Chain A
Amino acid sequence: MQSYLWFAGKRVLQLVAVIFFGVSAMFLVTYLSPIDPVEQVLGRLSARSNLSPEAIASTRIALTEMFGTGQPMHQQYWNFWTRLLRGDLGASLMAFPTPAMELVMRGLPWTLGLLLTSTFITFIVGNLMGGLAGYFQNNRLFKAFGIVTMGLQPIPYYIVAFVILIIFGFLWPVLPISGGFAMDVRPGWTLPFMLSVLQHSLLPALSLVLVGLGGWFIGMRALVSNIVTEDYVTYAELAGVRRDTIVGGYVMRNALVPQITALAMVIGGVFSGTIITEQVFNYPGIGSLLVDAVNAGDYSTVLAVCTVSITAVATAIFIVDLLHPLLDPRVRAE
């Protein structure tokens, strides 16, 4: 138990470090950039209206105060962190005066829901099929499954989502291709709303699952086909242990440990994939928010999305890492 706490403590430290360095790097990028956010916003404001020079001048002062760009760097950095810890990243410009953080929090459940369900399905199906394919190496069904998923795996998320959009949007329109729920249902914990949400999430989830399956399949098949040659498996077979016990309890369970480590490593990539997919299907998560914010020149919202992404991904990896010793007795003993 003590060793586990020691392990968890080290991981907490790492979590804090990741968030700290990630957010600091973000600050640095925005600070060193040749473009002044104040001028950028002003450019956008004055492009479609004829404001008087006095109005522009006073807007400039107000914006400089809001972004705090007039101060020296260490002061800006300090302000940035104090505001961040209070969860306040300023008002968004595209939905003024809604706080940027509130927009992000509105989108986050959608993104997390899509990310977690599709990762869960992908992990279970990919590993199960990969494990079976590694154990029954001559089975045609598993071989065919392997060829299809491995063929889809290298294709970028965007392309797969896009092809699915064309198929279900133009050729065979049976499922909704845009939005998070139907226009005519009222959000709330009601059956019609939940069914609508489920229906709208099918295509985004499908494209994430299709891209993800191959990686787990290849990894698990390689692991299992190595474990199958181990002496203890041959011994169990000769001793007449039932097939499903061998596959499930002896082979797959052991092969699952490195796959959990791999899960922690791919979450960042899957997160990027999720926000790309959201954009294709116009899903109301933080991916679509990020793209809208960039197009609207909304500085606060872009920063808020990036901060929340870094924190969310780092936390997800942290949780998976904490689960790891509970599954692997060898790590626990260390």
Chain B
Amino acid sequence: MFSIFRDLVRYNVEFAIGLVLVGIMVVFAGLSFFSPIDPSLIYMTIPDQPPSAQFWFGTNSRGQDMFWQLSAAFKNSLQFGITVAVLSRIISITVGLAAGYIGGWVDRVLMFVNDIFVAVPIFPILVLFYFVLRNHMDSFTMALILACFGWPFDARLIRSVALGLKHREFTRHAVFAGMSTRKVLLEEHLPYVMPIVFATFMNNMLWSIGMEVTLAVLGFTNINNPTIGTVLYWANSHSAMVVGVWWWLVIPVILIVITFLGLFLLAMSMNEYIDPRSRLRRMGA
């Protein structure tokens, strides 16, 4: 695993850039653990100060230091993205491997369910959930809901790999040696799909954080919990751009773009790594 990583950093510029960008954001988000102020409190400093040596990212109209505010926001958003990605990976691995290996009616039923999930437009459903849950909609509930909708594409991808693994020599050996289906899937097939799982992990994080931003900007989440989306929500509700507090919007947007580009570059270069043809081309073979 470590050598793969080293090769990727050495031969793949996109991976290296992505790693640096995500690294910067993770360190920035990690700083919130050392935050001197509680980011959920308001009117702690002078409002509307432009970026300066004292306030690196300025302060907003709610009297919050934007540096610590954004640090906490990115920590919460990244945590949210990771939660959704882990949960939905569990579903997609289970469904994908089971459908590909067991086949028959299990496969047909699972893929039928899969097709239904692909066809449902997620955004109206999320809004509906908010509408009926209102204040019960905290970020963990939302992570659960998104995880339930974030697996179908990747399950299909994993299934296609599992279909190929099913007829390989080693699978037959394992079955004849008396391994149970669960053991074959977990110990023999899972390592083969891990690269896909990692690449889709990033994509899933992108998707879920994007959804969270969208919902929060409309005010459809717990707006007192600092996340990327709620920072923008408060900036909009104080008309930051009209009042001239541009740093309240511009700095978060730049940081969001850095995060998303970084995650995307990681996902894309991992994808490329999975496809051996493009990897050979890159290494000059």
Contacts of B275 on A, CB cut-off 8 Å?
Answer: 222
Q: Is B53 an interface residue (CB 8 A)?
A: no
A155 to B130 CA separation, bound complex (whole angstroms): 23
Q: Is B131 an interface residue (CB 8 A)?
A: yes
Q: Is the CB of A22 within 8 A of B122?
A: no
Q: Is the CB of B133 within 8 A of A290?
A: no
For residue B227, give the distance in angstroms from its CB to the closest CB of chain A. Answer: 13
Q: Is B16 an interface residue (CB 8 A)?
A: no
Question: Given A154-B263, A170-B241, A291-B218, are A309 and B121 neighbors across the interface (CB < 8 Å)?
Answer: yes
For residue A330, give the distance in angstroms from its CB to the closest CB of chain B. Answer: 17
Q: Is the CB of A268 within 8 A of B132?
A: no
Question: Given A157-B214, A166-B241, are A313 and B134 neighbors across the interface (CB < 8 Å)?
Answer: no
By beta carbon, the residue of chain B nearest A22 is B120
For residue B144, give the distance in angstroms from its CB to the closest CB of chain A. Answer: 13
Q: Is the CB of B256 within 8 A of A155?
A: yes
A25 to B112 CA separation, bound complex (whole angstroms): 16
Q: Is the CB of B253 within 8 A of A33?
A: no
Q: Is A42 an interface residue (CB 8 A)?
A: no
Q: Is the CB of B253 within 8 A of A290?
A: no
Secondary structure type dominating chain A contacts: helix
For residue B56, give the distance in angstroms from its CB to the closest CB of chain A. Answer: 22
Q: Is the CB of B253 within 8 A of A276?
A: no
Q: Is the CB of A30 within 8 A of B120?
A: no
Q: How many A-B residue pairs have CB under 8 A?
A: 118
Contacts of A18 on B, CB cut-off 8 Å?
Answer: 115-116, 119-120
Q: Is the CB of B257 within 8 A of A159?
A: yes
A14 to B120 CA separation, bound complex (whole angstroms): 12
Among candidates B122, B132, B136, residue contacting A30 with C-beta atoms closer than 8 Å? B132
Contacts of B232 on A, CB cut-off 8 Å?
Answer: 162
Q: Is the CB of B132 within 8 A of A156?
A: no
Among candidates B123, B125, B213, B220, residue contacting A159 with C-beta atoms closer than 8 Å? B213
Contacts of A118 on B, CB cut-off 8 Å?
Answer: none
Contacts of B249 on A, CB cut-off 8 Å?
Answer: 166
- Give the most central of B130, B213, B256, B277: most A CB within 10 Å: B213
Q: Is the CB of B124 within 8 A of A290?
A: yes
Question: Given A18-B116, A159-B256, are A302 and B128 neighbors across the interface (CB < 8 Å)?
Answer: yes
By beta carbon, the residue of chain B nearest A286 is B124
Q: Is A283 an interface residue (CB 8 A)?
A: no
Q: Is the CB of B124 within 8 A of A275?
A: yes
For residue B138, give the distance in angstroms from its CB to the closest CB of chain A. Answer: 13
Q: Is B264 an interface residue (CB 8 A)?
A: yes
0/1 interface trace, chain B 223-240, chain A, CB 8 Å (1 if under) = 000000000100000000
Q: Is A151 an interface residue (CB 8 A)?
A: yes
Contacts of B132 on A, CB cut-off 8 Å?
Answer: 29-30, 33, 35
Q: Is the CB of B210 within 8 A of A156?
A: yes
Contacts of B161 on A, CB cut-off 8 Å?
Answer: none
- Report A131-170 residues with CB < 8 Å from chain B CB: 150-151, 153-159, 162-163, 166, 170
0/1 interface trace, chain A 296-323, chain B, CB 8 Å (1 if under) = 0001001101100110011001000000
By beta carbon, the residue of chain A nearest B256 is A159
A306 to B122 CA separation, bound complex (whole angstroms): 10
0/1 interface trace, chain B 197-234, chain A, CB 8 Å (1 if under) = 00000000010011101100110100000000000100
Q: Is B28 an interface residue (CB 8 A)?
A: no
Q: Is the CB of A268 within 8 A of B241?
A: no
Among candidates B115, B211, B256, B260, residue contacting A14 with C-beta atoms closer than 8 Å? B115
- Give the most central of A14, A18, A25, A218: most B CB within 10 Å: A18
A218 to B275 CA separation, bound complex (whole angstroms): 14
Contacts of A53 on B, CB cut-off 8 Å?
Answer: none
A155 to B260 CA separation, bound complex (whole angstroms): 6
0/1 interface trace, chain A 275-302, chain B, CB 8 Å (1 if under) = 1100100000000001100100001001
Q: Is the CB of B214 within 8 A of A158?
A: yes
Q: Is the CB of B124 within 8 A of A35?
A: no
Contacts of A222 on B, CB cut-off 8 Å?
Answer: 275, 278
By beta carbon, the residue of chain B nearest A158 is B214
Q: Is B24 an interface residue (CB 8 A)?
A: no
Q: Is the CB of B116 within 8 A of A26?
A: no
Question: Given A154-B263, A154-B264, A170-B241, are A302 and B122 neighbors across the interface (CB < 8 Å)?
Answer: no
A14 to B263 CA separation, bound complex (whole angstroms): 35
Q: Is A232 an interface residue (CB 8 A)?
A: no
Q: Is the CB of B122 within 8 A of A272?
A: yes
A218 to B271 CA separation, bound complex (whole angstroms): 12
By beta carbon, the residue of chain B nearest A156 is B210
Q: Is B268 an interface residue (CB 8 A)?
A: yes
A276 to B123 CA separation, bound complex (whole angstroms): 8
A279 to B218 CA separation, bound complex (whole angstroms): 9
Q: Is the CB of A158 within 8 A of B153?
A: no
Contacts of A154 on B, CB cut-off 8 Å?
Answer: 206, 260-261, 263-264
Q: Is the CB of A275 within 8 A of B123?
A: yes
20 contacts between A and B (CB under 8 A): A26-B128, A30-B132, A33-B132, A34-B136, A35-B134, A151-B261, A153-B264, A157-B214, A158-B217, A163-B253, A265-B118, A272-B123, A291-B218, A294-B127, A302-B127, A305-B124, A306-B127, A306-B128, A313-B119, A314-B119
- Other A-B contacts than A17-B112, A275-B123, 11 sampled, CB-CB below 8 A, are A17-B116, A154-B264, A155-B260, A156-B211, A156-B256, A166-B241, A269-B122, A279-B218, A294-B131, A310-B124, A313-B119
**Smallest CB-CB A-B distances: 3 pairs:** A272-B123, A33-B132, A156-B210
